[in-house]
Chain A
Amino acid sequence: MDFYLGLIQIIGVHTLLGLSAYCVLLTGQVSLAQAGFFAIGAYVAGMLTVLLHWPLVLALIVSAILGGAMACAVGFPALRVKGLMLVVATAAFGEAVRLFFFNFTYQVQSGAILLGPHGGEGFRQIRYFPEHGWGTLDVVLFIWTIVVLVMAMLWWMDRSRVGAVLRAVGEDELAAQSTGINITAVKVSAMTIGGIIAGIGGGIFAHYTTHIEHIQFGIVLATFAIAYPILGGLSNVFGTLLAVIFIQGLLIEGLRFLGDWRNLLFGGLIVLAMNIRPRGLLDAGVLMTLKRLVSRNGERKGA
């Protein structure tokens, strides 16, 4: 049972990570900086609860604000570049953040042990959940409340004028500009929202793993972050969730029985999925089919 609860936690946190890349991707930008914002959220939230004994929710709010502020700060200069240059610039930023934490030590004596981030050895003993008597189920509920809230917010944003504006910029920047949309504001906003979500996700991540280190936030995690929405499709937020379940649940956990051979198949299956559905698992066509099915059922019920 605990295994499945643990998996559900992982899926929740990775969904947040994927969604943070999702709203940036809507504007047509590919950012590999999300793992960096995620790392900032993780370290900041961990330090606040461990060293300053803040309540978790307050710490997460600060993580969100800092993640967003950092994304905004990166977003402005990064907008000067596009395409591959943006990918590489954001990857460089992400790696710089990782290496910063690799070299970052701030420890405080607490009883017999030292607490706080310790360079390459990482940041251990983030024991907020056990110390406050949270069971695994409580943690799962907490994580998914936040995931559902974020998804609902993004879903609503997608349906509103804001979503239309984001997608317009993603589709055709020049056309969007000619209709009076402020491209810079839109892109920086998307980046900031992405940073906020990644910051929250990182904060939660630090607390359920209890131990974080720089290597977890490398380019691999950054690529996972954009792989989710790309694999899931950019039609709506559920594509990202579907892709996280597909990768984390089916491919990584489901294929665990294959042992060392897992990654061989893992890579192959992702490539296969991208070949068959280059626009994502949940693209416009699938959505139409789903809608038709739902409405047909509705008619039958009505009749």
Chain B
Amino acid sequence: MIDLVQNTIDGVMIGSSYGLLALGFTLIFGVMRRLNLSYGPSIMIGGYVGTVLYVQYGAGPLAVAGTMILGAAIAGIYVERLCFAPMRMGAGIASMVSSFAIWMQLEQAAILVLPRHTYPFPPLTTGAPLEWGPFLLRLDHLIMLGCALGLTAAIQFALYRTRFGLALRAIIGNPVAAHLVGINVSVAVMLAFAAASAIGGVAGFLVLSVDQQVTPMFGMWATLKGLIAMMIGGLGSIPGAILGGLLLGVVEAHCQWYFGPQIRDLAAYIVLFVFLLVHPGGLLGRAPGSDIAAPRTP
């Protein structure tokens, strides 16, 4: 019983990083209705910039976090300008294929800058875990959960209470009409991309500082985990992204405990596959197939 609860706690903690990754993904998908395979690799590039600062100049965790978030945002803008801005409507698959090509490019760039397979990454805290009855809580995990909840609230606020949020929701609702009311759609989409990658940067920083190392494979890992969590939570739903991430984390934690680490990843895919087929809308998503010719909700 204690194991069950402890596993669930660990799952929720790890899941909050998945939720953060899904948050950025949801923002991009919501605005563009397209899949950005380079989302994770952009974050990975940010991580590499951060680790260079750490290894070469001994920068502290906060400075590393700042540069990583900035680096991820710039990489995100690079991807958006190359793969999404120039592609006309209806060329969604072309964007996806292009973002895949950029993924390979970013991975190679990371290897060129730092040719060893892994590099150290600064830990955020080194304190002993908090004890709470028989259960253990790691401080960095708690920070992760706090960031996930805080950023969700911040994004909800930005979307529903600010001028930029109004512009983004207008673009989501109808891109042509957004042009017609005088929104600079191209700039707004670029900024949304940058913001999404920056959120991914936050997630990436937290994950890497728990792992205390970074590898080029982190890009693919972040894309896949973010994507799975977003789909389980429901396409286009901000709270859904966090919920999906938490659920994924809990399922993985239990599978790892009972069946070992290899089955853990397998279980994640099977859960997703079954989830998509049985309940395509996800936990909090709109109607199934809402990315294609969604009927106007009555």
Residues of A within 8 A of B (CB): 30, 77-78, 80-85, 87-89, 91-93, 95-96, 99-100, 102-103, 219-220, 223, 226-227, 230-231, 260-264, 266-271, 274-275, 278-279
Contacts and interface: CB of A to CB of B under 8 A. Distances in A.
Given A84-B35, A271-B83, A278-B88, A92 B228 contact: yes
Nearest to A30: B93
A98 B222 CA distance: 18
A271 B104 contact: no
Secondary structure class of chain B's binding surface, majority of residues: helix
Nearest to B111: A260
A87 B291 CA distance: 12
Output the residue of A80, A93, A274 with the most chain B CB within 10 A. A274
Contacts of A85: 231, 235, 276, 280, 288-289, 291
Output the residue of A261, A263, A264, A271 with the most chain B CB within 10 A. A271
B176 interface: no
A84 B105 contact: no
Nearest to A275: B86
Contacts of A30: 93, 96
A243 to B, nearest CB: 10
27 contacts: A80-B288, A81-B280, A82-B288, A83-B291, A84-B29, A85-B291, A88-B231, A93-B269, A95-B224, A95-B269, A99-B269, A223-B100, A227-B97, A230-B97, A231-B97, A260-B112, A263-B105, A264-B112, A267-B103, A267-B104, A267-B106, A268-B105, A270-B101, A271-B102, A274-B94, A275-B82, A275-B87
Interface in B107-123: 107-109, 111-112
Contacts of A80: 277, 280, 288
A271 B101 contact: yes
A92 B288 CA distance: 18
Nearest to A120: B262
Q: Which 5 A-B pairs have the closest CB atoms?
A: A267-B105, A263-B108, A270-B101, A99-B266, A96-B269
Interface of B: 29, 33, 35, 37, 82-83, 86-88, 91, 93-98, 100-109, 111-112, 220, 224, 227-228, 231, 235, 262-263, 265-266, 269-270, 272-273, 276-277, 280, 288-289, 291-292
B87 A102 contact: no
Contacts of B269: 92-93, 95-96, 99
Contact of A77 (B29, B101, B231, B277): B277
A266 B288 CA distance: 36
Secondary structure class of chain A's binding surface, majority of residues: helix
A263 B104 contact: yes
A5 B107 CA distance: 29
A106 B21 CA distance: 37
B272 A88 contact: yes
A260 B102 CA distance: 15
Contact of B272 (A87, A92, A271): A92
Contacts of A220: 104
Contacts of A103: 262-263, 266
B272 A89 contact: yes
B101 A100 contact: no
